[in-house]
Every structure is written in structure tokens, then in C-alpha cells.
Amino acid sequence: MSAKQLSCENCGGPLSYGAPFCAYCRRPLHWGRHVAIERGEQFFFRDFSRDKLPGSSVAQMRQDGSLVPVEKENWERWGSFEPKLRDACIAVRGVALDANGDFGVYARMHAQGDAKAAYQLKIYPAFRSWRLRREAWVTKATHVSPLVDWEFSPLIGGVGTVNEVELRFSDSVFQVVLNGQNAATVVDASFGFGLLGWVCGSHPGPSQVLLQSAGAWRTR
Amino acid sequence: MLECDACAVRLGYDAHGKPFTVLPPIVPGNVLAVHDFRQVPLPGCTTRTKNWDDGDSMQGTDQGIVLTLLSGMRWFNQPFLRIRDTCLRASFDVYDTELRARVVARKQTLGDASLWYELAVTPHDQNYRLARLFTAPEQSDNTNLSGPSAHPAVLARGNNLLELRVQGPTLEAWINGAKVCAVHDAALGIGGVAIGVGTFSTSKRPQRTLLRWLEVREVAP
């Protein structure tokens, strides 16, 4: 296996993590070593003190970022970034301004007609915890399946501090990177392709989250 | 050979310089499971004969299990197997004209919602469809990957053999031994296997099918 993405050393073909052979050259594959996903070349970088936050007309641009109000309890606001990708690193930097706010990223958001499905990684600074889950939603409802439910991490800063949430994914390998440090690796092959995105949410009451920036990179 | 930057499919170029996707072949390998419905219940069921409260029923026979539907759809999910790369084959006879039979791969459940790939046929009009689907109590939706369209490989009467092969982001549909399509779709990567039978009759006229067997295979190098 090549260290660059998940590609075959023999023919360069794309690999499925854990597959017993390369689908293109049929060469047997051996797995077992840890796959470390790192940032490669940049796809984009948005500074939300200058760049419009996609998908949210209510965000207020300020000198230090875009303020996203989530007016209802247990609610979310989100937006997506082009391009659609299989493998990438997506990071969002922001500040939860109160104890109700959380924020994070979407990966591999794709559609079946009007329905959408994606991976969502969020941090909840009030509890310094994070969560990774699969989601599928339509206008009236969201259905979820947790991969890792709210879990404490000392890497997360509390309310009022800047946190960077990053999800790196290559095929079915997902790495949760919090403030630049690897917090967890999860293997899940459920969804394989789609848009990137940002998300801000609220818990028992309305919240305000300041999103400062978002960036996406190739994996290597 | 080049690779698509976004979805990692391999690309080739024809004589005019136009790109096309290069899909790897999917070869059936070792048998993982065989459900012979002459002897065993449908996946997820404990008996071969059953009457549901809504009037649907199934009856075990010496050829398989005859399923009779009045409305809607019945799922028969294999509960013990989530698999990424596999070849699924199902053999069935559809007796009535308003019935759709399908083999399902990578069926993923999220709460009350599900997503999956299916190869479905409606034998009476010889149509097939390979699609990605979503269903939830409040809404269902789909993305067609190939079809719906008529194909001579689908038999209007008698026994049809449906085969869905999935390997990484490559999907192939085979019907009665003929390859009807191959597509690249990376949206869903793993999930369960199932048979689904549904009627689109609005008159509650009974629609019958004989389910003969289901086979699950690994993919081979």
C-alpha cells in the first residue's frame, strides 16, 4: 500500500481499506500497519471575517469571523462547500460563545433525491466533548447512528476559547483531529463520497457560535 | 492511467481524447451463505409459512416460498452480515403483473431511516433498475444509477436470476447471466444484504412471487 492516500503500490489504483486485493491489478494486499492521514495540498481556505459563510443568510460577518445564531434549542445550522470528494481533510475553527453551542464539520454529504446523508463531527465546548455520527435527513426529520457518542477530550478548549475541529478521511479510515492533535481513528465504510460542510448547533437553549475559518486539504 | 481527483475512479482516454471511467471487473468468489428456500425461511424470518395481519402471507412449498402481497413492500434482511464487497444472487418467479422484486446490498440503517443499493426488476414489462435509495417514515427518495429501462435479459415469465455485484465504488447488475450495466457510485460503502418484494397495485389484488434461493458470495481476485 502506498503511503499517499490509499493507493496500490503496484498499479497506483485506488484501494478500499482492508480489501484483500487491488481491484485493478488484482495484487494481494496486506494490511495491519496504522494508516496516518495527513494534510496535503490545499483545496480551499475561507476566512469568515472576509468570506461569506456558505448556506447561512443569518450569519453576521464581524472582524473576528461570522457569528452564527442558532435561535432554537436542539437545532442546527449548516452549509456545504464544493467540491464533492472521497478523501480530504476538512477543518473548521470557531468559538462557542455560550454553554449551549457546539460546532463542527460535515463530510461526504450526498443526496438521494431530496434526502441527504453524511458524516458529522462536532465538539461541544461546554463539556469539552466530541461526537462522530452518521446522519440522514429530510426536511422534517433527521435520523442518526452514532459512531462515537459525546466523549470527553482534554484536547478541546471550553466555552469562549478557539477550537479547531478537523476530520481527515481516506476511504473508510476517519481520523478526528482536535486542535491539531489526533484524538481518535474510526473505521467506517458507510458513506464514500460527497460534499464537505460546516455545522453549528444548540442544546438546551439557543446559542451563538463564532466561526472564524474553514479549510480543506488533500490527504497524503 | 489517471485517477479522478474527487472520487478516485480510474480514467482512460479514447482516441478523441475524451475521458471515460475504467471500472475493474467484479468476479464472484467463495460462497459465504446460501439460503435455499425449499428448506429454510426467508432471511430474518423464523418460519416458512406465515400470515401477516394486513393480509400478506407466505407459504412454504417444495420449490421455495410463495409470497403473496396485497399492498406495500416486504423486506427480508439478513441480520448477521454487513459486507462491503460481495456478489448477491437471488432466484425467483413472479406470477403477477404488479410486482417488483429486488436484491439489496449495503443496506445501512440510521435510526428509523435506511439507505441501500438495489437491483430491481418488474418482469411483466421486462424493466430493470439499479438505484441508490433512502427511506424514512416521513419520506422516501431515490437516485437512479442505471434504468429504469427495458432489457431483454429480464424474462417476462418464469424464473429470473438477479445478481448484484458490489466492489468498492463499482456496482454491476447481472440478470439471467447477462451483464446489464456497470456503474461507479461511491456514496454507500457497507451494509447488510436483503431481498425486497413490493407491489405497486392500488387495488389490493394479491400479487405473488416464488422465492427460490439467495446466495451471498465474496468477491474473488
Q: Does A186 touch chain B (CB under 8 A)?
A: no
Mean pLDDT throughout B34-63? 96
CA distance A28 to A6: 14
Mean pLDDT throughout A41-56? 96
Cell of A178: 482536535
Mean pLDDT throughout B194-211? 93
Q: Does A154 touch chain B (CB under 8 A)?
A: no
Least CB-CB distance to A24: which of B10, B132, B191? B10
Quick check: A145 and B110 CB within 8 A?
A: yes
Mean pLDDT throughout A134-157? 93
B113-122/B127-136 β-pairing? antiparallel
* B chain contacts of residue A193, beta-carbon cutoff 8 Å: 6-7, 169, 185-187
Phi then psi for B123, rounded to 5 degrees? -60, -35
Rounded to two decimals, what is the model's pTM?
Answer: 0.89
* A chain contacts of residue B10, beta-carbon cutoff 8 Å: 13-14, 24
What is the structure's pLDDT at B7? 83
Is residue A18 predicted with pLDDT exceeding 60? yes
Quick check: B187 and A140 CB within 8 A?
A: no
* Confidence label for A12 from pLDDT (cuts 50, 70 and 90): confident
> Is B75:B196 a contact under the CB 8 Å cutoff?
yes
Quick check: A141 and B138 CB within 8 A?
A: yes
Provide the 8-state DSSP code for B125.
Answer: G
> Is B217:B29 a contact under the CB 8 Å cutoff?
yes
> Is B1:A7 a contact under the CB 8 Å cutoff?
no
Provide the CB-side half-sphere exposure for A98 (13 A, CA): 16
Quick check: A193 and B113 CB within 8 A?
A: no
What is the structure's pLDDT at A196? 98
Q: Is the peptide bond before B169 cis (omega within 30 degrees of 0)?
A: no
Mutation choice for A interface testing from B26, B84, B132 by most A CBs within 10 A: B84
What is the structure's pLDDT at A2? 42
Phi then psi for B184, rounded to 5 degrees? -110, 120
What confidence tens digit (pLDDT) does each residue in B150-190 have?
999 999 999 999 999 999 999 999 999 999 999 999 999 99
What is the structure's pLDDT at A5? 59
Q: Tally A–B CB contacts below 8 A.
A: 129
Cα of A85 to nearest chain B Cα, Å:
5
The Cα-based distances of B23 to A13, A23, A81, B8, B152 in angstroms read 11, 9, 28, 11, 24
What confidence tens digit (pLDDT) does each residue in A69-123 have?
999 999 999 999 999 999 999 999 999 999 999 999 999 999 988 899 999 999 9
* A chain contacts of residue B82, beta-carbon cutoff 8 Å: none
Least CB-CB distance to A28: which of B137, B167, B221? B221
Q: Does A2 touch chain B (CB under 8 A)?
A: no
Sheet holding B19-22, edge to edge: B2-3, B10-13, B19-22
Quick check: B138 and A138 CB within 8 A?
A: yes
Cα of A112 to nearest chain B Cα, Å:
5
Residue of A nearest to B7 (CA): A86
Cell of A107: 463530510
What is the structure's pLDDT at A200? 98
Provide the 8-state DSSP code for A100.
Answer: T
Cell of B175: 440478470
Quick check: B108 and A190 CB within 8 A?
A: yes
Is residue A216 predicted with pLDDT exceeding 50? yes
CA distance A139 to B191: 25
CA distance B148 to B154: 12
* B chain contacts of residue A23, beta-carbon cutoff 8 Å: 24, 167-168, 170
Predicted ipTM? 0.81
* Confidence label for B3 from pLDDT (cuts 50, 70 and 90): confident
Cα of A138 to nearest chain B Cα, Å:
7
> Is B121:B160 a contact under the CB 8 Å cutoff?
yes
Is residue B8 predicted with pLDDT exceeding 90? no
Residues in chain B: 221
CA distance A198 to A79: 6
What is the structure's pLDDT at A6? 80
Is residue A1 predicted with pLDDT exceeding 60? no
What is the structure's pLDDT at A3? 40
CA distance B216 to B211: 15
What confidence tens digit (pLDDT) does each residue in B79-114 have?
889 999 999 999 999 999 999 999 999 999 999 999
CA distance A172 to A219: 13
Mutation choice for A interface testing from B9, B184, B190 by most A CBs within 10 A: B190
**Range A117-135 burial, b when 16+ CB lie within 10 A, else e:** bbbbbbbbbbbbbbbbbbb
Mean pLDDT throughout B118-144? 95
Least CB-CB distance to B115: which of A19, A112, A189? A112
Is residue A31 predicted with pLDDT exceeding 90? no
Number of neighbouring beta carbons within 10 Å of residue B5: 13
* B chain contacts of residue A139, beta-carbon cutoff 8 Å: 139
What is the structure's pLDDT at B1? 64
* B chain contacts of residue A110, beta-carbon cutoff 8 Å: 187
CA distance A144 to A162: 27
Mean pLDDT throughout A7-35? 87
